[in-house]
Amino acid sequence: MQILRHIGEYTLLMGKVLRLPDRQRMFWRQYSRELEKQGLQSLPIVLIISIFIGAILTIQAKTNTENPLLPTYTVGLLTRETLLLEFSSTILCLILAGKVGSNIASEIGTMRITEQIDAMEIMGVNSANYLILPKILAFVTMMPMLVIISTAVGLVGGWAVGAFTDIITVHDYLIGVQYAFNPYYVWYGIIKSLVFAFVITSMASYYGYYARGGALEVGRASTNAVVNSNIMILFLDLILSKLLL
Amino acid sequence: MIEAKDIVKSFEGNVVLDHVSATLRDGEVNMIIGQSGSGKTVFMKSLIGLHTIDSGHILYDGRDLAKMKEREIRELHREVGMLFQGSALFDSMTVMENVLFPMEMFSRQTREEMEERAAFCLRRVEMPEHVWHLMPSEISGGQQKRVAIARAIVLEPKYLFCDEPNSGLDPKTSLVIDALIQDITREYNICTIVNSHDMNSIMEIGDNIIFLKGGKKEWQGSRHEIMSSENEALNDFVFASDLFKKVKQANN
């Protein structure tokens, strides 16, 4: 019953969110702020995690492919495919669900418990549309860019292993990275990230918007937003992988 | 004018408002008073439309709230100003941006005209100019209330709702806020509804007082009539403190 209530409330909320904004000018202002807040401010963590994961994947791939029957470029190939297919789209979204999702849920939740959302409603503003739509659209806009940047930086991390250690040569790595490249995998990652970006922002907004009580409930809303959007991302990853690959 | 006719509101079978009727007049400070749990907050939220009532009618100058669609309620809300207990200022905006916000959403004025109007409202509530560009967290509780009043009146509302306007304020600042609410009500001929259990406020500015007890309207009258009222429940509530008991004895 509880899950049905959540689905019903979420659907009703999205009905209020996905409408034309009352004021276009206000919407675009909010949208540009969110681009900066959700997108650009996520860039440092994306860069740091991606470069390290790229390097670690390369080292682990080398360890697991110590076989004379396997070509030397296998390491670069494995690193590229792992980054493209799973890390930069799914794992990165799981990480950003923690950063962006908790930020959104706590921001909207605090606005709810301090009556700022009620104040908007009483002014005649569609608070859900005003607060949530720019967040969803901004993150959906930024997410594909973050995925592409993450993949590129991850590959640089792998290259650094070749350049600064004797685990693999740069030449072998670069051949592997370019070998049998399928451009569709880039689209596959982008499509997944668009879906996950919507899931992260809309679910976090939902938990924040319906937060009740005090600071404790806002914290709980934030936790629920992260945990449940992570579960939903993994579930949708399974479905999308089956459908798209 | 707002007319509440025979309002019933319950939560999960628990009746919170039991056939409450009241007329709230323009140009007067209409106060809803009562002990905690008497239903005054539910009454106020029902009047605004934040709670859907079980039965009865709420008429805003003849327009029935219950018959309005969501869009019509939103349009009606543009005629409503509200002062929240905790001020409810948007903490991501400066003082000036808070007051500009309703105009940016609904007014067709130019930016200069909007800023002029916001400045007028901030001066009207006696907010010094040097704090206009501060964030709400950087100003005092009393100043936050003033900014909230400025924001509530910036679109020249017909109806002004104030939920516990003096909550958390010192007695002196409370008097200033009360005076401001009363002045604005008279000046713009607004129908002001104040939810309070602050006796000073009630005796200071209450033109039309509705006393609720156990979800029912127990008494209605002016602040002058309170002194001579024989209603036992009202006297128990109003003259609970020794100070007010002595005032009444002196008055009698």
Nearest-angstrom CA–CA distance, A169 and A165: 8
Give how far B101 is from chain A: nearest CA, Å.
9
Crossing angle of helices B70-77 and A116-123, in 10° steps, is: 100
What percent of chain B shows pLDDT beyond 70?
A: 96
Q: Note the pLDDT of residue B243.
A: 67
What is the rounded CA–CA span in Å between residue B152 and residue B185? 12
- The answer on pLDDT for A239 being more than 70 is yes
pLDDT digits (tens, 9 = 90+) for A25-66: 999 999 999 999 999 999 999 999 999 999 999 999 999 998
> Which residues in B lie closer than 8 A to residue A119 (C-beta atoms)?
82, 84, 88, 90
Spatial separation of the C-alpha atoms in residues A201 and A234, rounded to whole Å: 16
Partner A, chain B 132-151, Cβ-Cβ below 8 Å: none
Asked whether the beta carbons of residue B75 and residue A114 sit closer than 8 angstroms, the reply is no
DSSP character string of B107-140: ----HHHHHHHHHHHHHHTT--GGGTTS-GGGS-
Local structure of B59: helix, strand or coil: strand
In a domain, B115, yes or no: no
What are the angstrom distances between the C-alpha of B84 and each of A218, A233, B167?
Answer: 20, 39, 10
Closest chain B CA to residue A126: B74
Cα–Cα distance for residue pair A44/A157, rounded to 1 Å: 15
Does residue A216 belong to the interface with chain B, where contact is any CB pair within 8 Å? no
Sorting pLDDT into bands at 50, 70 and 90, what band is B241?
low
Query: Dihedral (C-alpha) A83, A87, A92, A97: value to the nearest 10 degrees?
Result: 160
Our measurement of the distance from residue A37's CA atom to the centroid of its chain's CA atoms, rounded to an integer in Å, reads: 14
d(CA B99, CA B85): 17
Report yes or no: A68 at the B interface, CB cutoff 8 Å.
no
Q: How confident is the model at residue B244 (pLDDT cuts 50, 70, 90)?
A: low
pLDDT of residue B13: 87
* pLDDT digits 0-9 by tens, B23-34: 999 999 999 999
Q: Do B48 and A122 touch (CB under 8 A)?
A: yes
* Cα gap A187→A202, rounded to integer Å: 23
**Is residue B104 within 8 Å of residue B119, measured between CB atoms?**
no
Q: Which residue of B has its CA nearest to A27?
A: B105
Question: Domain for residue B216, yes or no?
Answer: yes
pLDDT at B128 over 70: yes
Of B50, B75, B102, the CB nearest to A118: B50
Please judge whether B105 and A25 are an interchain contact, meaning their C-beta atoms are less than 8 angstroms apart: no
Task: Output the pLDDT for position B102.
Answer: 94
Number of CB atoms found within 10 A of residue A143's CB: 28
Residues of chain A with Cβ-Cβ distance to B89 below 8 Å are 116
DSSP classification of residue A216: H
Residue entry with tokens 């980054």:
A83
Rounded to two decimals, what is the model's pTM? 0.88
Domain-located, residue B38: yes
- Inter-chain CB proximity B89 and A115 less than 8 Å: no
pLDDT at A22 over 80: yes
Residue B5 falls within a domain, yes or no?
A: yes
Q: What is the pLDDT of residues A59-103, one digit of tens each?
A: 999 999 988 889 989 999 999 999 999 999 999 999 999 999 999
Q: How much is the pLDDT for B169?
A: 82
Among candidates B99, B105, B80, B102, which has minimal Cα distance to B158?
A: B80
Q: Which amino acid is at B124?
A: R
Share of chain B above pLDDT 90, in %: 60
Type of residue found at B28: E
Scanning every residue of chain A, which has its alpha carbon at the shortest distance from the alpha carbon of B73?
A124
pLDDT for position B229: 83
pLDDT at B203: 87
Mean pLDDT across A112-122: 93
State what percent of residues in chain A have pLDDT above 70.
100
Beta-strand runs (E) in B97-247: 159-163, 191-195, 208-213, 216-221
Domain assignment present for B188: no
Most confident of the following: A216-220, B177-181, B202-206: A216-220
Distance, in Å, from the CA atom of B48 to the CA atom of A121, rounded to the nearest integer, reads 10
Specify if B165 maps to a domain: no
A9 touches chain B (CB under 8 A): no
| Count of the separate structural domains present in chain B | 1
Domain of residue B236, residue span: 1-79+198-252
Nearest CA in chain A to B155: A123
For residue A201, name the pLDDT band (cuts at 50, 70, 90). Answer: very high
Q: Is B99 on the interface with A (CB under 8 A)?
A: no
Q: Report the alpha-carbon distance of residue B221 to residue B31 in Å, rounded.
A: 10
For the ranges B124-128, B132-136, B213-217, the one whose mean pLDDT is highest: B132-136
Q: Do B102 and A126 lie within an 8 Å CB cutoff?
A: no
For A5-18, what is the mean pLDDT? 95
pLDDT the model gives residue B171? 84
Q: What is the pLDDT of residue A199?
A: 97
Q: Which residue in chain B has the smallest CA separation from A16?
A: B70
* Residue in B74, B80, B110, B162 to test binding to A, most A beta-carbons within 10 Å: B74
* pLDDT, position B252: 63
pLDDT tens for each residue of B50-92:
888 999 999 999 999 988 888 888 889 889 999 998 889 999 9
Q: How confident is the model at residue B245 (pLDDT cuts 50, 70, 90)?
A: low
Query: Nearest by CB to B82, which of A26, A122, A126?
Result: A122
Measured between beta carbons, the chain B residues lying within 8 angstroms of A115 are: 84-86, 88
- Chain B interface mutation, best of A110, A116, A127, highest count of B Cβ atoms under 10 Å: A116
Confirm whether B97 is domain-assigned: no
Is B252 among the domain residues?
yes
Q: Mean per-residue pLDDT for B39-44?
A: 91
Say which CATH number the domain at B63 has. Answer: 3.40.50.300
What are A126-167's pLDDT values in tens digits? 999 999 999 999 999 999 999 999 999 999 999 999 999 999
Chain A, chain B: beta-carbon pairs less than 8 Å apart: 53
**Which of A183-192, A204-213, B36-45 comes out lowest in average pLDDT?**
B36-45
Residue of B76, B97, B105 to mutate when probing chain A, most A C-beta within 10 A: B105
Res. B249: pLDDT tops 80: no
Going by pLDDT thresholds of 50, 70 and 90, the confidence category of residue B140 is very high
**pLDDT tens digits along B165-178:** 888 888 888 888 89
pLDDT band at B227 (very low <50, low <70, confident <90, very high): confident
